[in-house]
Structure 1
Amino acid sequence: MDRSRTRSARLLLPLTSAVCAAALLGGCSGSSQSGSSQPAAHQAAAPAKADADDLQQDYQKVIKDVLPSVVQIDAADSLGSGVVYDDRGHIVTNAHVVGKEKTFRVTSPTGEEAHAAKLVFSYPEQDLAVIKLTKVPDGLKAAKFADSAKVEVGQLVLAMGSPLGLSSSVTQGIVSATGRTVSEGRTGGGTGATIGGMVQTSAAINPGNSGGALVNLDSQVIGIPTLAAADPELGGSAVPGIGFAIPASMVKTIADQIVKDGKVTDSGRAALDITGRTVVGDDLRPAGVAVVDTKSGGAADEAGIEPGDILVGVGDADVPTTTALAEALAAQKPGDKVKVTYSRDDTEHTTEVTLGER
């Protein structure tokens, strides 16, 4: 199930403004400055229709190119989507789609007989997993993955997958933002992962879309749809038009290691090398992360941070909770040097930490 514990704003769009704007652009004056006997709206109609036809053809081409590479994955307790990663039968999906299962049934968009697949490796920390078909069918088509650095806000995108079990479904939208850090809940099958660099999209992402493909108009996968934002004020209901996808470059980094080594050998995720828990202040509000233990020779240990210290800041970010700490670290890379602020014996200290890897 696609659920996010991030807070989301509720926006009310003034539809009347859009109608008025359309009327103004259509030429409400009733007269033409061009000297033509036809109204301006008529002159613009043919080019506008041509543009719409071109866009429609672009959509149809992308769907024809990519949809054969997007499959439905049936596990014992979940239903999700996956993307064919190579012609050897590897399929990349979300870790929360596979859950604790080891075997799966995979169905292609053509509706042909389901194929058996086995888990290669699941990496909940990044909510990614790779499964492999036990027998590679003829004509298996691997998807092409984009360079995440080239993804820009405003790009048109299509989301492909099996929302609510409706296989081969396609929705459209734009890239709304890049570089989002999102924390996933543990309820409803979530892994609790905190993931940085996420692509935000307005394309609809519903339960079952997880593990599918977010695709640009060059028929390249720019991300793996993973989360739909939820509004706690509405009982955790999904917020339309706010979804998140793991960027393609991160997908490739993790999937390449799993395919090659059967596990993740280089996560690219920064760590302080501590065990911590959230503590509250006198006002009963979260006040920091208490260091329960440090890894000998790890990042925090080398910087002089000790068990009993309370972390309150990493870089420019406050860290009142373990989730906030995970989000602050998600924006960093192993080997980065960051300022860490902590409290010891009611005295605040600051030290520079060279981040490790987890």
Structure 2
Amino acid sequence: MAPSRTRTRTRALSRRYAPTLVCPLVLLGGCTGSDPSPQAGGSPTPQAATPSPSPATATDLQSEYQKVIRNVLPSVVQIQAGNSLGSGVVYDGRGDIVTNAHVVGNSQTFKVTTANSRTALTARLVSSYPDQDLAVIRLEKVPKGLKAAVFGDSAKVEVGQIVLAMGSPLGLSSSVTQGIVSATGRTVSEGGTTGATIANMVQTSAAINPGNSGGALVNLDSEVIGIPTLAAIDPELGNSAAPGIGFAIPASTVKTIADQIVRTGRVTVSGRAALDITGRTVVNSSYQPVGVTVVEVKSGGAAARAGLRTGDIITRLGDTDVTTITSLAEALARDKPGQRTTVTYTRNGNSTTTEVTLGEQ
């Protein structure tokens, strides 16, 4: 199974990208419980029937959904970058809009359509940060009533929470899908043009389709808890969608990157750990990946201080085996700058493990 970026191409709406991921699609069957044991000399103890949801309960939940949609959908926009469509979220009252780096691509100007208007507005790129697949664009003219979204604390996101995904899938602006948070803390490598490896992603069962990229994953408190970015595809089914498996960049990462771009026009503190090397995947005689060879060591960087040299082959970082450049990036994405860990490498056929203090990307 591999994640697929969710930008829409207006010339081929069904086209999907297929970067790498991580685990095969597995179907699980259900389990049955045991019957209650009968009391001695008597019949089984009667079990109270589980009450069905009352109409009032269903009505209340529907009202919650509608309230969240009214609160947040005006802050979700459609972005046209060249021949491609994606989504964005209004970040502040100045007309700054946060989206994915792969949505903006190489474009510098964009057409933006808000939920309340069919008239496209012009926006320009402030900055793009492909390492986290995030970008900020800014409207040239801020329309009256433009509403900034409220971003929540993604550290408080829990599995099982109900969420709504809002965006422009397949060019259908102001669309909403519903699901739950399926998992947190996922590390996902996108591949494709950005090659980003993103940690702490939120996995959701809400449908994420082409064009949802850059939109909003929202909780029932009307808070944006993530930016939908990837939908999983199943290679065994001809790269068709794997239903109910989508990923969103957590709000904490979005705020860290967007705040810097809005304030200074660039990212100066990534919060991402680095070994300070340039490397490439090494394969054995059977063309199986076996590690990452060090092509270049940054002078004074983390690897240099740990004694690594050009030609060394890294095979492990901390508790994680390293076989490819992607697996090394995923291991680093789970760590923090300044963290002490170990790196295992091979030099002239001999394996060595040494401590390293990670730098910052």
TM-score over 0.5 (shorter chain): yes
Residue of structure 1 equivalent to 2:330: 327
Residue identity opposite 1:143 in structure 2: A
Q: Indicate which of 301, 304, 309 corresponds to 1:301.
A: 304
8 Å CA contact 1:342, 1:349 repeated in 2: yes
Deviation at residue 51 of structure 1 after TM alignment: 1.1
Please give the alpha-carbon distance, in whole angstroms, between the structure 1 residues aligned to 2:23 and 2:141: 43
Match of 1:202 in 2: 205
Q: How many residue pairs are counted as aligned between the two chains?
A: 334
Correspondence list, 1:162-311, <5 A:
162-186=168-192, 190-311=193-314
Higher helix share: 1
Q: Which residue does 2:89 correspond to in 1? A: 83
Q: Which amino acid aligns with 1:5?
A: T
The structural deviation recorded for 1:48 is: 1.9
Task: Give how far 1:112 is off.
Answer: 3.0
The 1:33/1:207 distance shift into structure 2, 3 A limit, reads closer
Aligned equivalents of 2:237, 2:182: Cα separation in 1: 22
TM-aligned CA deviation for residue 89 of structure 1: 0.2
Structure 2 SS opposite 1:293: strand
Aligned to 1:137, what secondary structure does the other structure show? coil
Query: Against the structure 1 CA distance between its residues 60 and 344, is the aligned structure 2 distance closer, same or farther, given a 3 Å change threshold?
Result: same
Select 1:9's aligned residue among 5, 24, 28: 24
Find the aligned partners of 2:24 and 2:288 in 1 and give their Cα distance: 23
AA aligned opposite 2:332: L
1:102 corresponds to: 108
After superposing the two structures, state which structure 1 stretch, 1-10 or 139-148, moved more. 1-10
Cα pair 2:282 2:292 within 8 Å, conserved: yes
Q: 1:154 to 1:107 in 2, by over 3 A?
A: same
Kept after mapping to 2: 8 A contact 1:7/1:230? no
CA contact (8 A) 2:22 2:188 kept: no
1:8·1:239 contact (CA, 8 Å) conserved in 2?
Answer: no
Q: What's the secondary structure of 1:171's corresponding residue? A: strand
- 1: distance between equivalents of 2:236 and 2:307? 42
Looking at structure 2, the residues matched to 266 and 156 of structure 1 have their Cα atoms a distance apart, in angstroms, of: 32
Equivalent position to 1:313, from 312, 316, 319: 316
CA distance in 1, matches of 2:290, 2:306: 22
The 1:12–1:33 alpha-carbon spacing in structure 2 relative to 1, beyond 3 Å, is closer
Amino acid in structure 2 at the alignment position of 1:10 = L
- Percent identity over the alignment is 69
Counterparts of 2:20 and 2:83, CA distance in 1: 21
- Following TM superposition, the consecutive aligned residue runs of length 4 or more in structure 1 with deviations greater than 6 angstroms are none
Shift of 1:281: 1.7
Deviation of 1:231 (Å):
1.7
User: Could you report, residue by residue, the CA deviation over 1:279-329 in whole angstroms, capped at 9, with x for unpaired residues?
Assistant: 112332001000011000000001100001000000110110000000000
Q: Go from structure 1 to structure 2 and tell me whether the alpha carbon gap of 1:307 and 1:146 turns closer, same or farther (over 3 Å shift).
A: same
Q: Contact conserved, 1:5 with 1:230, CA < 8 A, in 2? A: no
Match of 1:161 in 2: 167
- Structure 2 vs 1, CA of residues 102 and 128 (structure 1 numbering), >3 Å: closer, same or farther? same
Deviation, 1:220, is 0.1
CA positional deviation for 1:8: 4.2
SS at match of 1:80: strand
**Structure 2 CA distance for aligned equivalents of residues 196 and 123 of structure 1:** 15
Is 1:112 the equivalent of 2:150?
A: no
SS in 2 for 1:132: strand
Match of 1:130 among 136, 147, 151: 136
**Alignment partner, residue 358 of structure 2:** 355
Give the AA of the match of 1:121. S
Shift of 1:7: 3.9
Task: For 1:277 and 1:305, locate their aligned partners in 2 and report how far apart those are by CA, in whole Å.
Answer: 15
Q: Tell me, in whole angstroms, the C-alpha distance in 2 between the residues paired with 1:293 and 1:318.
A: 21
**TM-score of the superposition, structure 2-length normalised?**
0.89
SS at match of 1:297: coil
Structure 2 runs not aligned, ≥5 long: 7-16, 34-45
Contact 2:169 2:210 in 1 (8 A): yes
Deviation track 1:239-276 (CA, whole Å, cap 9, x = no partner) reads 11000000000000000000000000101111000010
Unaligned runs of 5+ residues in structure 1 are 22-31, 35-39
